[in-house]
Structure 1
Amino acid sequence: MKPTLLILAAGMASRYGSMKQVDGFGPNNETIIDYSIYDAVRAGFGKVSFIIREEFLDSFKSIFEPKLKGVVETDYIFQTFDLEKYGIDKIIERQKPWGTGNAVLEASNNVKEPFCVINADDFYGYDAFKKMADFLTTDVREDNYCLIGYEVDKTLSEYGAVSRGICLVNEEGNLQEINERTKVYAKDGQIVYEEESGNITPLHEDARASMNFWGFTPAVFEQANPMFKRFVEANEANPKSEFFIPLIAEELVKTGKANFKVIPTSAKWFGVTYKEDKPIVQKSIAALIANGTYPSKLW
């Protein structure tokens, strides 16, 4: 059974100013998602499931269906504000959905095979998809999940400090915890993070960053459902609270219900947060086309 690629694309892209998920970055207006799907299909994935807001459906279908027909199976899953399906008999007014962990739970009726989760607006590289596909076809179990760990220097921006989830990994290569470092940058040949106090601490040269690239079996839906219910009950008065995937991982690790293998990759990550990032991403993709990593026309 081939694994499924679950693409998180329900965010409103408030900082970017438009729907960056379907913005063009390649020479033929390819989106970042196109490159992720191209790499995933080459790596052995059999289906692509888009997690979107229902109002995005026509836009997504018009962009991706003509390209992907006959290439890979696709389906569309809506992230909504409906809490009844989780056994929560309340209507809670919010501007944004409940976060990436909730987005994963929304796929419970559609995804029946091992799957991975990625962000729509992040470029992950073929090496990461190949390693994920291999794990999902040989090693994944309901108590043995994974995430791709990026070399921190391969995730930095030349335009200032970035926020990164830095993985603490044990001797077996499993995740112990993820520490959110809000100001990570290169300084004097080292990668450092700066605390609110102004204290600057070097990161270990082997430190790995999580870029929200996770591997699961469908057992995670049942495992995470009660966590989400508790989260909603604790945060119903906080409209900006979000139930993130690392919260699921953290609880599974701490309760001993699952390990998360941190799979190292040397791939270069790049992403789009602000409009100013667009030319950098376009330049990076052009370089990968020039060196033969990708064809000039993907589909």
Structure 2
Amino acid sequence: MTQHSLTLIVLAGGLGSRFGGNKQIAEIPGLGCTIMELSIADAVNAGVSQVVIVINKKIRAEFEATILPRLPKSLDIVLVEQEITAIPAKFSSLATTRTKPWGTGHALLCAKPFAHNPAIVITADDYYGASSFEIIAEHFKHNSQWAMVGYPIKDTLSKQGGVNRGVCKVDQQGYLIDVVEYLDIKRENNTLYGNNPHGEQCEIANDALGSMSFWGITPVLFDYLELGFTQFLENTDNGVTKEYYLPNEIQLAIQKNRQAVTVYTAREPWYGVTYKAELDAIAHTLYQLRHKPNN
């Protein structure tokens, strides 16, 4: 087994229903590559030597034909399919009526057999900026605790309307306390407002950080995920539509196991794609970022 000091795990198993297709393998107009490939290039520059990509089996053939040949030959690349049936045997009946993936927590769990060292975890359709990979790589040179890069929420708003964000609560030492999901976040008269989990509209601090799913983790997280996923499946009311979310499990690890998560503030903007039209809208910006004179 090849030893790696740092792994990148890309969660690319979502179906992208609102996007109207597989947005994880949609090329950026003018760049001839996907957002995921930009992130992988940034990760390699930061010292990553292994990439584990969690995909939906529907895109495997196209992924292997188009994206894989464009990735650096020096990389140890592992493709893992997030299968609905990849659950403990005693819960197999739940998989028969399930039509969508089990969620980000399950997606990451699928990578467990291949990730044996500190890892950066990202989603495939978000552009995080090169410096975020450098931040986490540097963190793991001196630290064995988990970490995350948070992005100022005021910089992640959309012109299309309100956005949903996980708002980070951070203590005075810079450690994550929790992430609370706020819905329909908008700016009104230079003030941020969003609906809290109780449905109440609240003011959000102007310097609040949002969790955009950029994590630095160690293999112990997989043990927490396995236990948590079993508990999730044991809930008789989980039905076949609820998802097992990674941030919820990280929060439980903080609360139950006193797991420390260092929070860093991003140095560059985040760009995300939910709708196909947004890919065209950010294409010009990403093109400029990748063609700076010093790149």
Tell me whether the two structures share a fold, i.e. TM-score over 0.5: yes
Say whether 1:77 aligns with 2:80. Answer: yes
Q: Distance in 2 between matches of 1:20 and 1:293?
A: 29
Aligned equivalent of 2:108: 104
What is the distance in 2 between the residues matched to 1:119 and 1:150?
15
Taking the aligned partners of 1:232 and 1:203, their CA distance within structure 2 comes to 34
Question: Structure 1 residues 235, 19: CA separation in 2 closer, same or farther (over 3 Å shift)?
Answer: farther
Q: Would the alpha carbon gap of residues 235 and 46 (structure 1) be closer, same or farther in structure 2, given more than 3 Å must change? A: farther
How do 1:46-65 residues align onto structure 2 when only pairs under 5 Å count? 46-65=49-68
- 1:89: how far off? 4.3
Q: Kindly indicate whether the alpha-carbon contact (under 8 Å) linking 1:6 and 1:116 is maintained by their aligned counterparts in 2.
A: yes
Q: Which residue of 2 aligns with 1:246?
A: 247
**Which of 135, 139, 144 is equivalent to 1:131?**
135
CA distance in 1, matches of 2:236, 2:91: 15
- For 1:291, the aligned partner's letter is K
**Contact in 2 for aligned 1:150/1:208 (Cα 8 Å):** yes
CA distance in structure 2 between the partners assigned to 1:25 and 1:244 by the alignment: 28
Gaps of 5+ in 1: 295-299
Which residue identity lines up with residue 66 of structure 1 in the other structure? P
| Inter-CA distance 239–197: structure 2 relative to 1 (3 Å threshold) | closer
Partner residue in 1 for 2:259: 258
Decide whether aligned partners of structure 1 residues 238 and 285 sit closer, same or farther in structure 2, where only a CA change above 3 A counts: same
CA distance in 2 between partners of 1:88 and 1:114 (Å):
31
The Cα of 1:276 is off from its aligned counterpart by 2.1
RMSD (CA atoms): 2.0
User: After the TM superposition, which residues 1-299 of structure 1 pair with which residues of structure 2 at under 5 Å, given as runs?
Assistant: 1-84=4-87, 86=88, 88-92=90-94, 93-140=97-144, 144-194=145-195, 200-235=201-236, 237-292=238-293, 294=295
Letter of the structure 1 residue corresponding to residue 232 of structure 2: F
The DSSP-based 3-state class of the residue aligned with 2:113 is: coil
Structure 2 distance, partners of 1:215, 1:147, is 6
Answer whether contact 1:82 1:91 (CA < 8 A) is retained: no
Maintained 8 Å contact 2:181/2:196: no
CA distance in 1, matches of 2:224, 2:31: 42
Residue deviations 1:13-49, cap 9 Å, x none? 1000011111111523211011101111111111111
Task: List runs of 5+ in structure 2 lacking aligned partners.
Answer: none
Deviations 1:238-273 (A, max 9, x none): 111000011111111111341111111121001110
How many equivalent residue pairs?
290
| Cα distance in 2, alignment partners of residues 197 and 243 from structure 1 | 20
Q: State, as a whole percentage, how many aligned pairs show the same letter.
A: 29
Counterpart amino acid of 1:8? L
State TM-score, norm by structure 1.
0.90
Q: TM-score, normalised by structure 2?
A: 0.91
Moved more, 72-81 or 194-203: 194-203
- The residue identity in structure 1 corresponding to 2:107 is A
Distance 1:195 1:112 in 2: 37
* SS of 2:93 mapped into structure 1: coil
Q: Residues 195 and 177 of structure 1: is their aligned pair in 2 closer, same or farther, counting only changes over 3 Å?
A: closer
Distance 1:82 1:194, change over 3 A: closer
CA distance in 2, matches of 1:197, 1:246: 19
Separation (CA, whole Å) in 2 of partners of 1:69 and 1:145: 27
CA pair 182-2 structure 1, distance change in 2 beyond 3 A: same
Q: Residues of 1 paired with 2:111 and 2:159: CA distance?
A: 36
Aligned-pair distance for 1:212? 0.8
In structure 2, what is the equivalent of residue 297 of structure 1? Answer: none
